[in-house]
């Protein structure tokens, strides 16, 4: 285990050190202590390493992640795992706005609640939230899966494309062109796998599925009020 004291040695040095790791590294386990809410911790990683942040972070933690497994033992500010490509990011606490925004791949797990716009413009990422999510989550979601064990706020999936949303609790309202859909056997299997990987104690049969009605793919003057 490699330990890095962020308060003593600085953010730039930490990110440079982690970004220098590659597929051949033998320094595969890292611990970041004294994060003290710093922004942009563990961004741009591209190696199969494990990084544990011992405390809460600020903006854009674990952004642009590839391959790495990043665990935050606390809560995170806006934009955690933004533009994530692969790997796993686990948040033990809560997440602020636009968690997982524009994510192309990988798995983001939030053990607490997520604020507004969770999964905005998601492009293939899988997001599992153990608690609730705020309004406008998965706005313009293009691909991937958003799983919510709690409740969802207003305008879930507004203007979405082919992303799938699984919610166990209530949904305050659905956004434009988002509707409830049938839970077929293949969706049960997808959800079962995601719940297991996220360590979530829930049954797939308890969830409802939502997604695009596919009415806004092309402009139609009759739908002008919905855009």
Domain for residue 65, yes or no? Answer: yes
Alpha carbon distance 54, 219 (integer Å): 48
**Furthest-apart CA pair in the chain: how many Å?**
61
Predicted local confidence at residue 136, as pLDDT: 98
With a CB cutoff of 8 Å and minimum separation 6, the contacts of 206 are 168
Alpha carbon distance 212, 101 (integer Å): 18
For residue 218, pLDDT beyond 80? no
Domain for residue 171, yes or no? Answer: yes
For residue 26, pLDDT beyond 90? no
Q: Are 180 and 165 in contact (CB under 8 A)?
A: no
> How much of the chain, in percent, has pLDDT values that exceed 70?
95
Predicted TM-score (pTM) of the model is 0.94
Band of pLDDT at residue 24, cut at 50, 70 and 90: confident
- Tell me what the mean pLDDT of segment 103-129 comes to: 98
Domain for residue 225, yes or no? Answer: no
Predicted local confidence at residue 224, as pLDDT: 62
HEC secondary structure over the chain: CEEEEHHHHCHHHHHHHHHCCCCCCCCCEEEEECCCCCCCCCCCCECCCEEEECCCCCCCCCCCCECCEEEECCCECCCCCCCCCCCEEEECCCECCCCCCCCCCCEEEECCCECCCCCCCCEEEEEEECCCECCCCCCCCCEEEEEECCCECCCECCCCCCCEEEECCCECCECCCEEEECCCHHHHHHHHHHHHHCCCCCCHHHCEEEEECCCCCCCCHHHHHHC
Question: Is 185 or 221 the better-scoring residue by pLDDT?
Answer: 185
| pLDDT tens by residue, 153-176 | 999 999 999 999 999 999 999 999
- Tell me what the mean pLDDT of segment 202-223 comes to: 86
Domain for residue 189, yes or no? Answer: yes
For residue 99, pLDDT beyond 90? yes
Total domains present in the chain: 1
Range of the domain at 125: 2-215
Domain for residue 223, yes or no? Answer: no
Alpha carbon distance 132, 114 (integer Å): 6
Q: Are 159 and 216 in contact (CB under 8 A)?
A: yes
Alpha-carbon dihedral of residues 139, 37, 109, 155, nearest 10 degrees?
A: -20
Predicted local confidence at residue 223, as pLDDT: 64
Q: What is the CATH number for 156? A: 2.160.20.60
| pLDDT tens by residue, 47-96 | 999 999 999 999 999 999 999 999 999 999 999 999 999 999 999 999 99
Q: Is 87 exposed, middle or buried (0-12, 13-18, 19+ CB in 10 A)?
A: buried
Predicted local confidence at residue 88, as pLDDT: 98
- Tell me what the mean pLDDT of segment 94-100 comes to: 98
CB atoms within 10 A of CB 34: 14
| pLDDT tens by residue, 131-158 | 999 999 999 999 999 999 999 999 999 9
For residue 225, pLDDT beyond 70? no
Domain for residue 48, yes or no? Answer: yes
Alpha carbon distance 70, 80 (integer Å): 11
Alpha carbon distance 124, 102 (integer Å): 8
């Amino acid at each position: 285990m490699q330990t890095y004291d962020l308060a003593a040695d600085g953010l730039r040095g930490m990110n440079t050190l982690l970004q220098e790791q590659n597929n051949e590294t033998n320094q595969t386990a890292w611990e970041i202590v004294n994060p003290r809410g710093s922004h942009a911790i563990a961004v741009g990683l591209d190696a199969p390493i494990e990084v544990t942040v011992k405390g809460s972070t600020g903006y854009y933690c674990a952004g642009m992640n590839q391959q790495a497994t990043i665990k935050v033992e606390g809560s995170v500010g806006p934009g955690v795992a933004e533009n994530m490509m692969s790997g796993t990011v686990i948040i033990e606490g809560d997440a602020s706005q636009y968690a997982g925004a524009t994510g192309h791949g990988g798995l983001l797990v939030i053990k607490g609640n997520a604020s507004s716009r969770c999964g905005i413009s998601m492009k293939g990422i899988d997001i599992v939230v153990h608690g609730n999510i705020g309004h406008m989550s998965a706005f313009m979601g293009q691909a991937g899966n958003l799983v919510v064990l709690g409740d969802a706020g207003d305008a879930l999936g507004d203007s979405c494309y082919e992303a799938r949303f699984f919610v166990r609790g209530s949904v305050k309202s659905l956004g434009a062109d988002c509707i409830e859909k049938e839970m077929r056997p293949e969706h049960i299997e997808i959800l079962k796998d995601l719940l297991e990987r996220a360590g979530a104690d829930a049954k797939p049969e308890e969830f409802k599925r939502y997604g695009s009605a596919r009415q806004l793919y092309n402009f139609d003057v009759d739908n002008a009020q919905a855009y």
